[in-house]
């Protein structure tokens, strides 16, 4: 998109299913990069709405309710709170964290469906689906087990066999059984409404091909879906949990969760703008949070229906087809909406060499991390950005987490800032010294510093957050090198004026880091702001050496980062080993074939 045309940004982060807490895979894949991007835009004074919320509909929720012996509503209430609170504590700066069980969402999604219905977009199809006569309910694929026709495993699910990995249709199963009643399900006719994706194929191709700049993994996946040929897809389901289909002959049917979930971005924006308009601060604190301010007084439609709005979806790679094919087709069918400018999907993060698994408890849960590593949000933010799976799957290990904290955050960034602040207090009573005569060494630092903001901006604007963060760390490296070369602690005995200049410049480098690191490590930026007493600056001020005026009093030195000891890491590794042991003991018990039911339920 032509940058000069952009008036505002709508940044969305995938709506997490409320069937469990958020883990590091979600953070690295979606929420941290999205937050970096949104914070960066705000620091550049761009008009941005950063949107997210809980995905509370669909079979994943009903399955969880069944497992926990509670109602779907109780499930979503419980996890919505856990997830929302941990995002907030982790510094994910959504303008709104909404939820798809809200009235606004139900109305918005139903209206959207109705518009498409009235335009004659859907086709009606009668198909045969498994039905549990005892439970009086149609069965989603996940609710059916049976013998796998390929390998003979007796505990295969209606969509996949976990033993041989085959993708199945429920009707492929030999001796199918309903997991609700244990009975053999019967085939019964049912009517559903289909979105004829095939009719949008040409327009989708044109859309995708106009975005050759997308990440190769995203572009490639879209191409292979298109090349395989798109099929009509049911947008309604026979289920009793979700957004009711707003038609007369649709009793007992709800919208397909992947129809309503992306509309959740729109309903959240609506809610944000409407409440901001009414001047109500955080009206539903218990239900969801809004970080509202003056600039949120807007019409939500500007954020969705204008070609001056840049829409960016942050998602994990398992969501690509929904955001790049199905949702755009829905928006095209509707006719009024703008399509996403980019969908920077990440690959997956593994944990200690193994795939993260909710059911095997092979994960680092955000809510537990926040409890066990109090005040260390930025350490996790740092490690997950520095190792983000941007172009290929990556591995998180606790040893690497410790090493990056101790050798990078403590030794490079923390050390530089600490030295500058401590020396300024020691030699000049905490007051920014005057810059005297500039030498070649100083000038080289000033010149190098000046180049960083544009470099970092380019990386962020091209969704290369790893690269951007490593450049910010290079600014701290530059500062350390400068101090090591000039050795102000030695010079102080012979040339105090020279030390004034060195510390003046070093303090400016620290003040630059404060601005440049804010999108990545907001808690650290906040600490730096207090330490340097340096408020009110944003991205446009970075790159200069005039951020702190001479004579300005800085605050006390505090440590930005603490060393992480072996015991803390051993404790975490111990926890994972326990999961391993209990999985081995339970290995006879069937576990879900897929962690997230993203496709047909
Ligand atoms: N809940 C989905 C997932 O976790 C994402 C929905 S984004 C509209 O995969």
Pocket test of ligand 1: the residue of 97, 325, 343, 598 to mutate, having most ligand atoms within 8 Å of its CB, is 598
Pocket flag, ligand 1, residue 15 (CB < 6 Å): yes
Helix, coil or strand: residue 238:
strand
User: How much is the CA Rg of the chain, to the nearest whole Å?
Assistant: 27
Query: 295 falls in which pLDDT band (50, 70, 90)?
Result: low
- Among 141-145, 276-280, 534-538, 581-585, the minimum mean pLDDT is found in 276-280
Tell me: do 166 and 247 sit in the same domain.
Answer: yes
CB of 12 closer than 6 A to ligand 1? no
Same domain, residue pair 466 and 363: no
pLDDT at 2: 83
Is the shortest distance between the CB of 319 and ligand 1 below 6 Å? yes
Angle at the Cα of 319 from the Cα atoms of 245 and 101, rounded to 5 degrees: 35
Give the per-residue pLDDT at 297: 60
Q: Examine the pLDDT at 296 and tell me if it is beyond 60.
A: no
Probe residue for ligand 1, chosen from 53, 319, 328, 348 as the CB with the greatest number of ligand atoms within 8 Å: 319
Can you tell me which residue has the tokens 């883990």? 23
Does 451 lie in the same domain as 345?
no
Per the structure, the complete domain to which residue 71 belongs is given by 7-113+257-372
**Quick check: is 525 in a domain?**
yes
* Probe residue for ligand 1, chosen from 31, 53, 55, 56 as the CB with the greatest number of ligand atoms within 8 Å: 55
* pLDDT at residue 3, rounded to an integer: 83
Residue whose CA lies nearest to ligand 1 atom number 4:
16
Which of 57-61, 169-173, 322-326, 592-596 is predicted with the least confidence, judged by mean pLDDT? 592-596
Q: Does any ligand 1 atom lie closer than 6 A to the CB of residue 17? A: yes
| Minimal-distance CA residue to ligand 1 atom 7 | 14
Kindly give the number of the ligand 1 atom that is closest to the alpha carbon of 315. Answer: 7
Question: Crossing angle for the helix pair 415-428 and 522-532, nearest 10 degrees?
Answer: 10
Number of domains forming the structure of the chain: 3
Candidates 195, 210, 433; CA nearest to 322 is 195
pLDDT tens for residues 213-270?
Answer: 999 999 999 999 999 999 999 999 999 999 999 999 899 999 999 999 999 999 999 9
Indicate if ligand 1 lies below 6 Å from the C-beta of 121: no
Judge contact between 328 and 207, C-beta under 8 A.
yes
In the chain, what percentage of residues exceed pLDDT 70?
A: 94
Residue pair 121/157 in contact (Cβ under 8 Å)? The answer is no
Of 500, 521, 541, which marks where a domain is finished?
Answer: 541
Same domain, 80 and 106: yes
Residue 452 falls inside a structural domain: yes
Are 262 and 105 in contact by the 8 Å Cβ rule? The answer is no
Instruction: Evaluate whether residue 550 is within a structural domain.
Output: no
CATH number at residue 485: 1.10.730.10
Same domain membership, residue 109 and residue 48: yes
How many CB atoms are located within 10 Å of the residue 512 CB? 26
Query: Are β-strands 253-255 and 174-178 bridged in parallel, bridged antiparallel, or unpaired?
Result: unpaired
* Mutational test site, ligand 1, from 12, 15, 598, max ligand atoms within 8 Å of CB: 15
- 263 shares its domain with 320: yes
The mean per-residue pLDDT over the stretch 167-185 comes to 92
Is 556 a domain residue?
no
Tell me, yes or no, whether 234 and 273 share the same domain: no
- Number of the ligand 1 atom closest to the C-alpha atom of 264: 8
Give the tens place of pLDDT for each residue, 262-274.
999 999 999 888 8
CATH code (residue 55): 3.40.50.620
Res. 294: pLDDT tops 80: no
Whether 546 is in a domain gets the answer no
> In the structure encoding, which two tokens stand for residue 202, read together?
């040409």
Atom of ligand 1 nearest to the CA of 14: 7
Question: Would you say 138 and 251 are in contact if contact means Cβ atoms under 8 Å apart?
Answer: no
Residue nearest to atom 6 of ligand 1 (CA): 15
The Cα 601–Cα 599 span in angstroms is: 6
List, in order, residues 6 or more apart from 343 with CB less than 8 Å away.
214, 218, 312, 313, 315, 320, 323, 324
Q: How far is the CA of 594 from the centre of ligand 1 (A)?
A: 14
The yes-or-no verdict on residue 481 having pLDDT over 50 is yes
Q: With a 6 A CB cut-off, is 259 part of the ligand 1 pocket?
A: no
ipTM for this model: 0.99
CB 431 less than 6 A from any atom of ligand 1: no
Q: Which of 58-67, 276-285, 507-516 has the highest average model confidence (pLDDT)?
A: 507-516
Whether residue 598 lies inside any domain: the answer is: no
Identify whether residues 246 and 262 lie together within a single domain: no
55 lines ligand 1 (CB under 6 A): yes
Q: Are 491 and 519 in a shared domain? A: yes
Centre of ligand 1 from the C-alpha of residue 261, in Å = 7
Choice among 100-114, 137-151, 159-173 with the minimum mean pLDDT: 159-173
Q: Which residue has the tokens 């000049």?
A: 428
Q: Per the domain annotation, does 571 fall within a domain?
A: no
CA angle 430, 431, 432 (to 5 degrees): 120
Is residue 179's pLDDT more than 80? Answer: yes
Does the pLDDT value for residue 520 go beyond 70?
yes
Which CATH number goes with the domain that contains 172? 2.170.220.10
Strand order in the sheet with 8-13: 289-290, 96-99, 47-54, 8-13, 309-314
Domain boundary among 499, 514, 541: 541
Q: Which atom of ligand 1 is nearest to the CA of 596?
A: 9
- What is the atom index within ligand 1 of the atom nearest the CA of 265? 8
147 shares a domain with 107: no
Q: Whole-angstrom distance between the N-terminal and C-terminal Cα of the chain? A: 35
Q: Is residue 393 part of a domain?
A: no
Pair (412, 535) in one structural domain = yes
Q: Is 385 in the pocket of ligand 1 (CB under 6 A)?
A: no
* Ligand 1 site-directed mutation target among 10, 12, 13, 14, most atoms within 8 Å of CB: 14
Atom 3 of ligand 1, nearest CA residue: 16
Of 261, 321, 340, 597, the residue with max ligand 1 atoms within 8 A of its CB, to mutate for a pocket test, comes to 261
Q: In angstroms, what is the span from residue 38 Cα to ligand 1's centroid?
A: 19
H-run or E-run covering 394:
strand 394-396
- Hey, what long-range contacts does 579-586 have (CB within 8 A, 24 or more apart)? 579/360, 579/361, 579/362, 580/362, 582/361, 583/360, 583/361, 583/362
Q: Are residues 125 and 207 located together in one domain of the fold?
A: yes
Q: Over the stretch 305-318, which tens digit does the pLDDT of each residue have?
A: 999 999 999 999 99
Pick from 58, 92, 119: which is nearest to 384 by CA?
Answer: 92
């Amino acid at each position: 998109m032509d940058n000069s045309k952009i008036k505002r940004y709508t940044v969305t982060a995938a709506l997490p299913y409320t069937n469990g807490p958020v883990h590091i895979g979600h953070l690295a894949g979606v929420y941290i990069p999205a937050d970096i991007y949104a914070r960066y835009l705000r620091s550049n004074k761009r008009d941005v709405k950063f949107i997210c919320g809980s995905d509370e509909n669909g079979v994943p929720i009903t399955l969880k309710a069944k497992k926990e012996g509670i109602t779907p509503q109780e499930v979503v209430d419980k996890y919505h709170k856990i997830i929302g609170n941990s995002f907030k504590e982790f510094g994910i700066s959504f303008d709104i964290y909404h939820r798809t069980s809200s009235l606004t969402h139900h109305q918005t999604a139903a209206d959207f469906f109705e518009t498409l219905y009235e335009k004659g977009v859907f086709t009606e199809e009668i198909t045969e689906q498994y039905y549990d006569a005892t439970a009086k309910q149609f069965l989603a694929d996940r609710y059916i087990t049976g013998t796998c026709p390929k390998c003979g495993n007796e505990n295969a699910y209606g969509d996949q066999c976990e033993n041989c990995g085959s993708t199945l249709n429920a009707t492929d199963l030999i001796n199918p059984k309903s997991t609700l009643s244990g009975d053999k399900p019967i085939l019964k006719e049912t009517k559903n409404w289909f979105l004829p994706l095939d009719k949008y194929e040409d327009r989708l191709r044109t859309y995708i091909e106009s975005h050759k700049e997308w990440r190769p993994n995203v572009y490639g996946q879209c191409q292979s879906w298109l090349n395989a040929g798109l099929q009509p897809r049911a947008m309604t389901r026979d289920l009793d949990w979700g957004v009711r289909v707003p038609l007369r002959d649709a009793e007992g049917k709800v919208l397909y969760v992947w129809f309503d979930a992306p509309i959740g971005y729109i309903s959240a924006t609506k809610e944000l703008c409407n409440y901001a308009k009414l001047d109500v601060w955080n009206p539903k604190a218990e239900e969801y949070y809004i970080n509202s301010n003056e600039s949120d007084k807007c019409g939500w439609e500007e954020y969705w229906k204008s070609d001056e709005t840049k829409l960016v979806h942050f998602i994990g790679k398992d969501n690509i087809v929904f955001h790049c094919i199905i949702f755009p087709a829905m928006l095209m069918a509707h006719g009024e909406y703008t399509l996403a400018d980019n969908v920077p999907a990440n690959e997956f993060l593994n944990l200690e060499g193994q795939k993260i698994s909710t059911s095997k408890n092979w994960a680092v849960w955000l809510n537990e991390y926040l409890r066990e590593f109090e005040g260390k949000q930025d350490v996790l933010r740092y490690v997950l950005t520095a190792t983000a799976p941007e172009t290929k799957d990556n591995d998180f290990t606790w040893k690497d987490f410790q090493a990056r904290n101790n050798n990078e955050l403590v030794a490079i960034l923390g050390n530089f800032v600490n030295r500058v602040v401590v020396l300024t207090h020691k030699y000049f009573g905490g007051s920014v010294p005057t810059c005297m005569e500039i030498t070649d060494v100083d000038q080289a630092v000033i010149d190098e510093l000046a180049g960083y903001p544009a470099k970092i901006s380019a990386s962020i604007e091209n969704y290369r957050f790893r690269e951007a963060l490593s450049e910010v760390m290079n600014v701290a490296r530059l500062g350390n090198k400068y101090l090591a070369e000039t050795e102000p602690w030695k010079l102080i005995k012979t040339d105090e004026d020279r030390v004034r200049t060195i510390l003046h410049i070093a303090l400016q480098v620290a003040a630059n880091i404060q601005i440049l690191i804010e999108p990545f490590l907001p808690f650290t930026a906040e600490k730096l702001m207090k330490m340097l007493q340096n408020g009110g600056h944003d991205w446009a001020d970075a790159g200069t050496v005039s951020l702190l005026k001479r004579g300005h009093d800085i605050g006390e030195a505090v440590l930005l980062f603490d060393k992480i000891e072996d015991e803390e890491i051993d404790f975490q590794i111990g926890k994972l080993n326990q999961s391993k042991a209990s999985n081995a003991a339970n290995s006879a018990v069937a576990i879900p074939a897929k962690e997230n039911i993203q496709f047909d339920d």
